[in-house]
C-alpha cells in the first residue's frame, strides 16, 4: 500500500468517526478506489519528461567555482581517510604478527 492510499484510508476513517458511522468496509473500498484512480491518472512518457524538466529547472545548481571546491574537498577527505585506514591496518597487522609470531 503506498503513501497516497494510506492517506486516503486515514482520511476516510476520520470522516467516518466525525459522522458517527463506523464501517469496516470503508477502508477496503477506499483502497480499491485509490488503486483505480492511480491507474487512470498515469501520465505518458512525454508528460513525465516535461515534468522532470520543469522540476530540474527549479533546482539551485552550484556554480563552477562551488563545484570545483566541493570536488577538491571530497578528494582530500577521501585521501586522508584512506591513509588513516591504511595506517591502522598496517599497525594492527604488525602488532598481530609480533604477538602471534615467534
pLDDT tens per residue across span 59-96: 999 999 999 999 999 999 999 999 999 999 999 999 99
Domain ranges of the chain: 1-59, 61-102
* Residue 10 cell numbers, joined: 486515514
Residue with cell 470503508: 26
Answer whether 22's CB lies under 8 Å from 16's CB: yes
- On whether the pTM is more than 0.75, the answer is no
* Residue 64 cell numbers, joined: 563552477
DSSP state for residue 60 in the 8-state scheme: -
- Give helix 3-19 / helix 25-40 axis angle, nearest 10°: 140
Amino acid at each position: 500500500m503506498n503513501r497516497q492510499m494510506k492517506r486516503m484510508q486515514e482520511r476516510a476513517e476520520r470522516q467516518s468517526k466525525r459522522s458517527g458511522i463506523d464501517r469496516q468496509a470503508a477502508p477496503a473500498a477506499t483502497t480499491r478506489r485509490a488503486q483505480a484512480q492511480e491507474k487512470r491518472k498515469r501520465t505518458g512518457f512525454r508528460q513525465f519528461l516535461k515534468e522532470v524538466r520543469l522540476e530540474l529547472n527549479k533546482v539551485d545548481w552550484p556554480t563552477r567555482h562551488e563545484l570545483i571546491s566541493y570536488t577538491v574537498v571530497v578528494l582530500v577527505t577521501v585521501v586522508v581517510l584512506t591513509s588513516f585506514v591504511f595506517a591502522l591496518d598496517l599497525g594492527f597487522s604488525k602488532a598481530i604478527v609480533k604477538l602471534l609470531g615467534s
